[in-house]
Amino acid sequence: MFERLQSGLFEAIRTLAGQGKLTEANMREGLRMVQQALLEADVSLPVVKAFIEKVSKEALGERVLRSLRPTQQLLTIVYEQLVALMGPVDHDLHLKPSGSIIMLCGLQGSGKTTTAAKLGKYLQMKGWKPLLVAADLQRPAAIEQLQVLGEKIGAAVYVEKGATDPLLVCRNALRQMSELGANVAVLDTAGRLHIDQALMQQLALIDRQIQPDQVYLVVDAMTGQDAVNSAKAFHEALKLNGVILTKLDGDARGGAALSVKFVTGVPIKFIGTGESTEALEEFHPERIAGRILGQGDLMTLIEQARQKVDQEAMRRQQERLQQGQFTFDDFRNLIDQMSRLGPVNQIMSMIPGMGQLVDEMGDLDAEHSLRRIRGIIDAMTPEERRKPEIIDLSRRRRIAAGAGVAPHDVSELVRVFEPIAEMMRQLAGQGMRGRVQMIQSLMRQAASNPQGMLSKPKVGTGKRLRPEEKARLKKLREKELRRRRKEQRRGG
């Protein structure tokens, strides 16, 4: 997310950093580059003008031009103005224990129904009991979709087959909310392909009659300027309490995130970062500003780790580490736990200082590399995983055959394993921050070796093996397959 905006702003700051001395002239040129980066990220023109005006006022003053570290001062100013542009945000949903109502609205295709389930999951994690109300009667598939998602998260879903009046559906759902064991109703209202008067009148009627505690507009971040225009129109009709930006994990330029609050005055409450029902994050302007400027987002990563990582498995691993034990089995478990947090490049970009490394990696397929590591470990015997020092040349060839890699890949993994194991033992006993540092070090170790475990096999090169080596590898692979079949027969 925000890749285009991030690269543009980073290039502008880098250009200024290359100047021998910052003057008003080259500072203006740098700010012009910042303005261009914002426009290319689809930030609204009035927002860009206001933002550049505020940054210029600060940047062209004595605070920067006479500073010992002027580029760092400019970076700080840009960060502060980004936070001010997107915030502040009140994360309290202001719900009542006796029963509350959250109404979702938006254009068709914005991800409203999926967001209803995500919000339901979020409410469950906060201790609430949501009732998902299928009030989108315009799109028949929306009702079935909400039922499937509700069953997936274990939340009650209110549906009226054959209903034609969404207002009546909402009223009936609220009457039965307590009977269904729920205390928060999430209304999934109908969307349209575009903003029209009939849509607004229907939503305004539901809003006026039902009087929801919170009204959130679901906006597709990939629609750019249209997202800002629709947010403005909905706010004028309904008086929104917040916006939920969806699809920020896709090819979104990020302009909507910087524009919505400025244009409407309505804060962004949540952002959708994936398809799963757990992929809904609270919107923190300071964290997003940090991501945009390549400073990472460690707090969000820590929160995700607390939610998604198997805490019991991590506790057992901590106990083993405190006893000085760390085997290839532990290494593989660590990779599996790390994979739960999301794509590797996305995780790396959230760790301070790792954003530039992601850019330097280019099209390097880290996910592919982790799969290769898993495959190599799986091809080892239990004894080899416990005692990697016994892996000699013949064992390396056998493991390589079983994993479908070259022998030197096995050698490389064995070589880097001991430094990683030592690092893990040193971090034993640390809390969640220590675990994040552990992941950071693991990624640095992997990324520092682009010619080894992280390198892609080149198409058509046969992994750079000579014909006789390929023949020997084929024989070893067949031998390994026979060995595995024998073990399976013994186990059966």
Between 346 and 358, the higher pLDDT residue: 346
Pairing of strands 268-272, 242-246: parallel
Third-level CATH fold of 304-491: 434 Repressor (Amino-terminal Domain) (1.10.260)
End-to-end C-alpha distance for the chain, whole angstroms: 49
- pLDDT > 90 in the chain, percent: 25
Q: Does domain 100-289 have CATH number 3.40.50.300?
A: yes
Two structure tokens written together for 97 = 């224990």
Per-residue pLDDT at 77 exceeds 60: yes
Band (354; pLDDT cuts 50, 70, 90): very low
Least Cα distance to 447 among 383, 382, 354, 312 occurs for 354
d(CA 28, CA 13): 12
231/297 Cα distance (integer angstroms): 27
Considering the chain, what is the average pLDDT of its residues? Answer: 77
pLDDT at 423 exceeding the cut of 80: no
Residue 343: how many CA atoms within 13 Å on its side-chain side? 14
CA distances from 420 to 109, 232, 381, 439 (A): 45, 52, 20, 10
Structure tokens at 73: 């001062």
Question: pLDDT higher for 464 or 52?
Answer: 52
Q: Is the pLDDT of residue 275 over 80?
A: yes
Please report, as a single letter, which amino acid is at residue 193.
L
Q: Which two tokens stand for residue 488?
A: 């399976």
* Pairing label, strands 268-272, 280-282: antiparallel
Q: Which of 172-176, 225-229, 411-415, 450-454 is predicted least confidently? A: 450-454
Inter-axis angle of helices 393-403 and 467-491, nearest 10: 80
Q: What CATH class does 3-86 carry?
A: mainly alpha
Confirm if 46 and 258 have CB atoms less than 8 A apart: no
CB distance 339 to 370 below 8 Å:
yes
Q: Is 31 in contact with 52 (CB distance < 8 Å)?
A: yes
Rounded-to-integer distance, Cα 429 and Cα 438, Å:
12
The H helix count followed by the E strand count for the chain is 23, 8
Q: 28 or 116: whose pLDDT is higher?
A: 116
When pLDDT is averaged across residues 289-297 and rounded to a whole number, the result is 67
Residue 476's identity, in one-letter code, is L
Given a cut of 60, whether residue 245 has pLDDT beyond it is: yes
Structure confidence at residue 458 (pLDDT): 37
Report the pLDDT value the prediction gives residue 391, as an integer from 0 to 100: 92
Ordered by start, the domain boundaries in the chain are: 3-86, 100-289, 304-491
Sheet holding 268-272, edge to edge: 156-158, 130-135, 184-189, 100-105, 214-220, 242-246, 268-272, 280-282
Q: Is the pLDDT of residue 130 over 70?
A: yes
Greater model confidence, 319 or 383 = 383
Tell me how far the alpha carbon of residue 295 is from its chain's centroid.
15
Question: 407-426 and 393-403 helices cross at what angle (nearest 10)?
Answer: 100
pLDDT bucket at 363, cuts 50 / 70 / 90: very low
Report whether 189 contacts 133 (CB < 8 A): no
Q: How far apart are CA 405 and CA 473, in angstroms?
A: 9
CB 231 within 8 A of CB 198: no
CA distance 443 to 334: 12
Q: What backbone phi and psi angles, to 5 degrees, belong to 365?
A: -95, 90
pLDDT of residue 397: 92
Distance CA 262, CA 45 (A): 11
From residue 265, give the alpha-carbon distance in Å to each of 102, 303, 445: 19, 28, 45
Distances in whole angstroms, Cα of residue 39 to Cα of each of 35, 46, 258, 294: 6, 10, 11, 19
The confidence band for 153, taking pLDDT boundaries of 50, 70 and 90, is: very high
Span 46-69, average pLDDT: 77
Asked whether the beta carbons of 255 and 37 are under 8 A apart, the reply is no
CA 187/CA 192 separation, integer angstroms? 16
* The pLDDT of residue 301: 53
| CA 369 to centroid of chain Cα atoms | 20
Which residue would you say has higher pLDDT here, 337 or 179?
Answer: 179
> Cα 220–225–231 angle (5° rounding)?
60
d(CA 124, CA 187): 16
**Confidence band for 409, pLDDT divided at 50, 70 and 90:** confident
Q: Which long-range contacts does 368-375 make (Cβ < 8 Å, 24+ apart)?
A: 368/456, 369/446, 369/453, 369/454, 369/455, 370/335, 370/339, 370/344, 372/403, 372/405, 372/409, 372/453, 373/332, 373/335, 373/413, 373/453, 374/332, 374/335, 375/403, 375/404, 375/405
Sign of CA dihedral 181, 186, 191, 196: positive
Cβ contacts of 5 within 8 Å, gap of 6 or more: 37, 38, 40, 41, 43, 253, 254, 255, 258, 292
